[in-house]
Amino acid sequence: MKQAFLVFLGGGLGSVLRFMISKPLNPLFQNFFLGTFFVNMVGCLLIGLFLGLSAKGNILSYNNTLFLATGFCGGFTTFSAFAFEKHSFLKNGDLLNLAIYMLSSIGIGVLAVILGLWIAKHI
């Protein structure tokens, strides 16, 4: 039960922070959801860092990893918003920005996870 509460608490904190960051950033560019992109890339970096530190064994406990990686990062990042925003590009016939946003989100996201793991390894 304690572990479920840690995930719940971390997810709530991540969701509130995502809202506070995405709301002002998303309207800045007409054809790019900057807020969602930003939180997803930061979330990729953080989950790489947290899981890398957890893999070291003595830096993050299992409960800390649940709170930070599963809870916080799970609440902070948002695949559902990412998918919905792709639909809006399709609906508007904006295939170029759809491709740019999807490829950059996936490519930079994977690189951010790798960077987070690298940072954790070198701490």
How many percent of the chain have pLDDT more than 90? Answer: 80
> pLDDT tens-digit profile of 60-109?
999 999 999 999 999 999 887 788 788 888 988 999 999 999 999 999 99
Q: Please give the pLDDT value at position 115.
A: 97
User: Residues annotated in the binding site, as ranges?
Assistant: 74, 77
Q: How far is CA 86 from each of CA 7, 23, 40, 115, rounded to the nearest angstrom? A: 28, 17, 14, 26
State the Cα–Cα distance between residues 112 and 67, nearest whole angstrom. Answer: 20
How much is the pLDDT for 112?
96
Binding region for Na(+)? 74, 77
